[in-house]
Structures are given as C-alpha cells and as structure tokens.
Structure 1
Amino acid sequence: MTTTQTVKALFQPFTSDKLTLANRTVMAPMTRQKSPNGVPGPDVAAYYRRRAEHGVGLIVTEGTVIHHPDASNQKDVPLFYGEEALNGWANVVAEVHAAGGKIVPQIWHMGARGNVNDYSEEEIAGIVREFAKAAAEAKRLGFDGIELHGAHGYLIDQFFWEKTNQRTDRYGGSLINRTTFAAEVVKACREAVGPDFPIILRISQWKGIDYTAKLVRTPEELAQFLEPLVNAGVDIFHCSTRRFWEPEFEGSDLNLAGWVKKLTSKPTITVGSVGLDGDVTNFFKTGSGAGNASLDGLIPKLESQEFDLIAIGRALLADPAWVSKIRDGKLEDLIPFSPQALQTLH
C-alpha cells in the first residue's frame, strides 16, 4: 500500500549541475491541441499553473513546434515561434514561476510528410537552426531548460530508426551515423543557450506506428547510440517506455532509464503508465480509461537510484492535484483517468 512514508523518496530534492528541483516528479508532455492558431492563451497558462500549485517538481510542456513547413500536422498545436505565440509562452512561464514551479518547453518537429530520405543537407541545416532558435527563445522567455523530442517516431527519431532512415550520406547507415542529426541539433541548441542551461532529450525504443520497434537490442548498442548525444551536450535523458516496470534487456531488471543512467552517468527520467493500472496503448487502441495503481513497484527503483526523476502523464492529466494527493496520502481522493479527462483538461 502506498503511504506518505513509502513515497518519501519521491519528495526528496533533485540537484544536478544545471537543474535543482523540489522533488522527483515531472509532468510528462501531453499534446492537447488547445492553442488556437498555435497561440497558447490564458487557459493554457492556468492549466500548467494548477499542476505547479500542487507541487509538480518539473513541468514539461506539450510539444511545441519549430518554424518549418513540415513541423506540425495537427490543428491548434502550440507554436514556438512568432511574437504572439512566444508572448503566450512568456505568460505560461510567469504563471508557473509565480506558483513556485519550474517548466521547460518540449521542442518538437513531428516529422517528414514524406520521409527523412527526401531532405537535402541544406534543408537539414535549416531545421537544425530552427531548433537552436527555439532553444534561444526558451532561455530568453525565462524557461528553466528545454526538452528536445527525439522519441515516438517523430523527426529526430525518424533519423535514429533504421526503418525510416535509408539515407546513404553522413546522416544514414550505421547506428552512430543515424545519431548525427540529433547530435547536430543538440550541439546547435547548446551553442544557442550557453553551457549552464539544461538540455533534456526524450528518447524511446517504441514508435507510434510500431510498439515493438527497437533502436538498439543490447546494452552495447545502447552505449554506442548514447555517446554522440552525450558529447553533443545532453544533460538529462527522458526515457519513454509504455510500462516503466519492464526490463529493457534480458538478464537485468533495469528499465530503459536505468540502463541509460548506468551507461552515461547522466540523470534520467523514467515514464510509462506511472500510477495507472493499464498502459498508454490501451487508451489509443480502445479509448479505455485506467484506474489508479500503487506506486509500490516504482519507489524501490527510485530509492536504489536506478533513475532520478519520474514523469507522470495521464494520471496528472486527469488530476491536477495528483502530486499533492500522493504526498499527503489522500489516495482515496485521486481522480482516475478516463476519456472524459481529455474533454475537461482542468
């Protein structure tokens, strides 16, 4: 049974060389399409402020798109360029900070409408510059860092994955070559924000079109994959899995975040159906909700320092007070996730 005593580790401060947080909870990025014409309004600021008021250690915003024709194919996804959208984000930052929270934008490019093999090197260089511009704007607006979305089959991940990257130039071929685009994005962002601004990179094995996909199949391959990204300037890896409790490789109980931390010594965020009794794919496949689940299987992993931070998605989407209720032992008051939660988004 989860109690205030058993979740104590979740509410210990986190400190790295570039980021200090009040506790180990992270709001996972969740697309909402609530920004008309790409502009986040006062309701978006209020949405994030409510989570900060209830003690979320770090908020990662929904994906925000860079300035490129292919960057978004969804209506009312927030932009991270243009005066009106950036002013909206400035208000979001102000509201979250006023509530004592910390926040980073997830900077996103959804991916090629055709495929990444069609991009010229000139166009790739332009996309890299737009990521860097977005990073610089995030720092200017007062965000506490940035997260780059390199998971789930979106653009950066399309370069990572051998099934979508069939290029024969320096961006394709070997596993290490397939990290080149991401490494260039990270390096350009680092140059844009300076040495002390945190850069988080979200990665995953699974893709939106293939839940069984694998970028790497062994710890040795994972080490090869991670090295160029660390060298480019990643500070924290956000390791997306469908179920946080599943081991990543045979012969070890470590999940993906655990392995990434072990291999890089970088702080990691774990995510994947935290606090729920069903994984994320159930919702997308069937539209079903999920009940609340004990954290008893998660806390020992945190206590053993397998990973450093825990991202909560749908549970926090349904209940803005999820963190404070867990902290205060008010488990009977938790609001379960359901399709209706996506309608209210309170």
Structure 2
Amino acid sequence: MSIHPALTPVRIGGTELPNRAVVAPMSRVSTSGDGVPTERMADYYREFALGGFGLITTEGTYTDDQHSQAYPDQPGLTSEAHAAGWREVVRAVHDAGGRIALQLMHAGALSQLDRPTIAPSAVAPKGAKMPAYGGGAGPFRTPAEATEAEIAQAIAGFAATAARAREAGFDAVEVHGANGYLVDQFITDYTNLRSDRYGGSVANRAHFAAEVLRAVRAAVGPEFPVGIRLSQTKVNDFEHRWPGGVGEAEVIFGSVAAAGADYLHLASEGRDWAESAQLAPGVTITRLAKEITGLPVIANGGMHEPARAEPLLSGGEADLVALGRGALANPDWPRLLAGGGRLREFDRAMLTPDVTLSGQPALR
C-alpha cells in the first residue's frame, strides 16, 4: 500500500519536517489571566507531538501589552514570565519529538477586553463578541484609528515577540494575518479606509503585513522559519471574499513573499477548504499562492479527512495540511493514518480546554 503524501517529509525555510501534517492554531484561552502558559498547556501541546504531527502551531499569542490582546485568558509573550512558561511548553514538545511554531497575534478591533481598541480605521466590526472566549457578549467596541506611532508600536511588538520566541526555543513563528484580526483588518477593504500609505489600493493595504514580516525577519535572522496565515473569511464575517479576486490575491501573496515569509498558511473560517478555495473557475487560492510565491503552502479546512487531503498534496494544490478540530479529536492523526487506524469523530465538548484531547488518556 502506498504511503499517504501527508506522511512524507517537507522543508519550510531552513527546517526539515518529518511529515506534512500540521496542528492548526486554535484559541484555547487556558491561562489564569496573566498570559503565562501553564503546565496543562504544556501537556496539551505535548500530546500532538507524541501523536506524530510534523509541526504544531500554537494558539494566537498577544504581542504587546497595549492593544494586542484578544481574550482575557489568552497567552502572551511580552515578558520574562511569559517566556518562562513557553519554555516549558517548548521543552515538553521537543522531549516528545515534536516541532512547534508560535503564532503572533494582534487582535486590533476584535479584542473582547473591556478597554479601548485600535484598528486601521474607526469602523465598528461586524457581528458580536464570542462569549465562549470569555470576553462577554454584545457588540465589539468601535476602535480608534491607529496613529503612525501606534502602527510602529504594533510592528515593534510583533518583532520583539518573535525574538523572544526564538530565544524560548520555538522552531518557527507564524504571523496571524487572517480571520479578521489586525493584520487582516489592514488588508480588508471595508475595515481599512485610510488614505495614507497603508490604505487605498490593495498594494497599500498589504503594506502593514509586509512591514510586520520584515520586522519579524530582522528580529529572528535569515534562517529561522517565518510564516503568515491569511484568509478571506473572518471570525465575524464568514461570507467575505477578496473583492478583487485573483488579481487581489496575487498582490497580497507577492507582497508577503517579498517581505520574507517562508510559507503561507491559507485558512478558512466556518467553511471547509473545498467551499472557500475557489478564486475563479479552475483557480484555487492555494495553487495560486504556490505559483505566485514559489513557497510552501499549508491548506486548512476539512483536511482531517485523508481522502480530501491526498489529492491536494499529490496534485500540487498544497504542500502541507493543517488540522484544527480534526486534531482535537485525533491528536495522534499521523500515527492513525500511518497504521490504518480509525479516526475519531469530533465532539463539540472538545472545544472546552478542560476536556482531555479526544476524550482519551494522554498518549504514551
């Protein structure tokens, strides 16, 4: 029987991964309110490493203490106390044979904390807060339009956090440029009404993402893997698509590649990959990203189904596949795939951090 392509090795930047199975970033809101990773979090990430995933991406981690935090119990990496907690997580993953990337996240207008927010423009976000993340209910605040100084401060936060991540032993960092958070707010036409160099054309709207990547690259050096997660859809707007279609996507992909990204992680939100991947007849978002950038591309959305992941990888639509809920149900997905084991069904109770992954004992 031929090996599933998800189980073959791949390189991102200067790092060789043993397979193409990635744990997608998933908000777990598992700290005690101080942003410090806990022993329970170390066990959680360790289980994916024991399960054989080639790369584990952390939940979005806030990058400054002024405006970036999204949820009350979200982890951060802005202090030595945060770094010490993350070192224990990294050590647990490495001891189990895994590799782990820190996702760098700035919430922008989608913060659920009870404090002022900033965004590219003073545009009230669509939708409402998500009580499951612990930040209450009701509409989001209308953000203040970020000043040039605040933009520079946000970029510096991404860079400083990336440097701390490398020092803490992480194997890569990933800029969260998706799902409606700050980087995506700059990219998106209806949340970015600026008339300066950060607004207007899609090239200008992608400028903030490019500046973040350049600053992160300078902070971690040329060999350390740096990725960026992008999406058309958002946590507060499942229907959004880039209005410029293929042309807009080409500009965005070209901008982040030129700024120093080593890989692109293309995500769906509320829809699976098959539903959201088509930019035009015969043109998928993942294949276009590969053609424009020449970089490895991670596909996310329903990839836990081996029969769906196989043609994407073998047909050159993507280079890696990221699993979210499928990984929660099957933290040993690569091992099950290799051994022909039966995959477990996802249960919504698994979204609660207190529930043991897959309802099973910790892997040994």
State the TM-score, normalized to the length of structure 2.
Answer: 0.85
Partner of 1:139: 166
d(CA) in 2 for partners of 1:345 and 1:69? 33
Structure 2 contact 65–78 (Cα < 8 Å) conserved: no
**In structure 2, which of residues 331, 337, 359 is the aligned counterpart of residue 320 of structure 1?**
331
User: Is 1:342 the equivalent of 2:351?
Assistant: yes
The AA in structure 2 aligned to 1:317 is L
The AA in structure 2 aligned to 1:315 is G
**What does residue range 34-53 of structure 1 map to in structure 2 within 5 Å?**
34-36=30-32, 37-53=34-50
Structure 1 contact 96–102 (Cα < 8 Å) conserved: yes
**In structure 2, which of residues 293, 297, 301 is the aligned counterpart of residue 272 of structure 1?**
301
d(CA) in 2 for partners of 1:9 and 1:73? 36
The AA in structure 1 aligned to 2:337 is I
Closer, same or farther: CA 314–7 of 1 in aligned 2, 3 Å: farther
Once the two structures are TM-superposed, the CA of residue 150 in structure 1 deviates from its matched residue by 0.2
Partner of 1:10: 6
d(CA) in 2 for partners of 1:131 and 1:144? 16
Once the two structures are TM-superposed, the CA of residue 230 in structure 1 deviates from its matched residue by 1.1
d(CA) in 2 for partners of 1:226 and 1:318? 32
User: Is 1:82 the equivalent of 2:79?
Assistant: yes
**In structure 2, which of residues 10, 21, 26 is the aligned counterpart of residue 25 of structure 1?**
21
Higher strand share: 2
In structure 2, stretches of 5+ residues that fail to align are 110-116, 122-144, 358-364
Once the two structures are TM-superposed, the CA of residue 326 in structure 1 deviates from its matched residue by 1.9
User: Is 1:248 the equivalent of 2:278?
Assistant: yes
Structure 2 contact 265–299 (Cα < 8 Å) conserved: yes
Structure 2 contact 14–224 (Cα < 8 Å) conserved: yes
d(CA) in 1 for partners of 2:102 and 2:351? 21
Stretch of structure 1 that moved more, 189-198 or 110-119: 110-119
Partner of 1:65: 62
Instruction: State the secondary structure of the residue aligned to 1:227.
Output: helix
Closer, same or farther: CA 187–39 of 1 in aligned 2, 3 Å: same
Structure 2 contact 100–172 (Cα < 8 Å) conserved: yes
d(CA) in 2 for partners of 1:88 and 1:10? 31
Partner of 1:224: 251
Once the two structures are TM-superposed, the CA of residue 17 in structure 1 deviates from its matched residue by 4.1
d(CA) in 2 for partners of 1:174 and 1:270? 27
Moved over 6 A (4+): none
The AA in structure 2 aligned to 1:33 is V
The AA in structure 2 aligned to 1:58 is L
Partner of 1:196: 223
In structure 1, stretches of 5+ residues that fail to align are 276-293
**What does residue range 255-294 of structure 1 map to in structure 2 within 5 Å?**
255-275=284-304, 294=305
Summarize deviations over 1:156-214 as a string: whole Å, max 9, x none: 00000010001111111110000111111100111111111111100001112211212
Instruction: State the secondary structure of the residue aligned to 1:296.
Output: helix
User: Is 1:123 the equivalent of 2:150?
Assistant: yes
Closer, same or farther: CA 232–8 of 1 in aligned 2, 3 Å: same
Structure 1 contact 317–345 (Cα < 8 Å) conserved: no
Partner of 2:140: none
Instruction: State the secondary structure of the residue aligned to 1:38.
Output: coil
d(CA) in 2 for partners of 1:216 and 1:261? 20
User: Is 1:104 the equivalent of 2:101?
Assistant: yes
d(CA) in 2 for partners of 1:274 and 1:297? 6
d(CA) in 2 for partners of 1:255 and 1:49? 34
Q: C-alpha root-mean-square deviation of aligned residues, in Å?
A: 1.5
Once the two structures are TM-superposed, the CA of residue 330 in structure 1 deviates from its matched residue by 0.7
Structure 1 contact 205–216 (Cα < 8 Å) conserved: no
Closer, same or farther: CA 195–19 of 1 in aligned 2, 3 Å: same
Summarize deviations over 1:49-99 as a string: whole Å, max 9, x none: 111011000000011101132212312110111111110101111111111
Stretch of structure 1 that moved more, 63-72 or 121-130: 63-72
d(CA) in 1 for partners of 2:161 and 2:321? 25
Partner of 2:205: 178
Aligned residue pair count? 321
Instruction: State the secondary structure of the residue aligned to 1:195.
Output: coil
Partner of 2:265: 238
State the TM-score, normalized to the length of structure 1.
Answer: 0.89
Instruction: State the secondary structure of the residue aligned to 2:273.
Output: coil
The AA in structure 1 aligned to 2:349 is Q
Summarize deviations over 1:204-227 as a string: whole Å, max 9, x none: 011122112122543222112222
Instruction: State the secondary structure of the residue aligned to 2:298.
Output: strand
d(CA) in 2 for partners of 1:125 and 1:68? 14
**In structure 2, which of residues 340, 343, 350 is the aligned counterpart of residue 329 of structure 1?**
340
